[in-house]
Amino acid sequence: MSNYALIPLQIFSLLYAIVIHESAHGYAAFKMGDKTAYYEGRLTLNPIKHIDPFGTIMVPGLLILLGAPFVVGWAKPVPVNPANFRDYKKGELLVSLAGPGANLASAIVFTILYHLITPASSLPTTSVALFLFMLLLINIVLCAFNLLPIPPLDGSHVLQILLPERWARKFRNMSQYGFIIVIGLIMLGAVGMYLRFVMFFYSLLSGLPLTQILGYAFGG
């Protein structure tokens, strides 16, 4: 299948991954006592409620057209008010992990479905198999990317909860530089190396063909 034919699969896969990610954040917050996302209608899988023109459309679209080594994007952040949590630290931790956790769970489900319709260690040959492959890849990428301990990614919130308050306060002061740090690490190739390692590890656990994983996820 040509690279251009893969674009619709990449778009729909990314849209699913970011919607399930944000919905999971909102649902976890709701279960911990914060109904902000519920009142704003964000506890839904309706993509229209989550689309961010820049992060959902422009950034991934540009990355796809430019043939970037991997595609990332984001939806509108689900509004969360930690002051409403019944247990602040537990709430912050669970809400932060809910998004990446939903992506990981999705990747596992799509991996199982892929193996059910594709012979062991084989490459995707049908449109359905290829779509499942793209879904599991993008969900793995989004999970791993968001677990990086760099503001404003989810991993940074987890790290703040685990750090002593003195160090957590200093870490929070770095948040204004977080986006610049993320872009810098992407341009330097550090994020790509990290994601390749994650893909390699996941291929060992799942039995997926590593060459094809790297080919579709990173363009070779």
What distance in Å separates the CA atoms of residue 29 and residue 42, rounded to the nearest whole number?
Answer: 11
User: Which residue of the set 22, 40, 92, 165 is catalytic?
Assistant: 22
Cβ atoms of residues 65 and 117 within 8 Å = no
CA geometry: angle at 21 spanning 41 and 98, to 5°? 100
Total residues found in the chain within this entry: 220
Number of neighbours of residue 27 by Cβ within 10 angstroms: 19
Q: Can 22 be counted among the known catalytic residues? A: yes
Number of neighbours of residue 7 by Cβ within 10 angstroms: 14
Sequence-separated (6 or more) residues with CB below 8 Å from residue 149: 155, 156, 158, 159
What distance in Å separates the CA atoms of residue 55 and residue 58, rounded to the nearest whole number?
Answer: 6
Sequence-separated (6 or more) residues with CB below 8 Å from residue 7: 64
Assigned token pair, 112: 């199982």
**Alpha helix segments (H runs only) across 118-173:** 127-146, 154-162, 165-173
What distance in Å separates the CA atoms of residue 137 and residue 32, rounded to the nearest whole number?
Answer: 30
Q: Rounded to the nearest 10 degrees, how much is the dihedral formed by the CA atoms of 153, 156, 157, 159? A: 150
Residues with catalytic function: 22
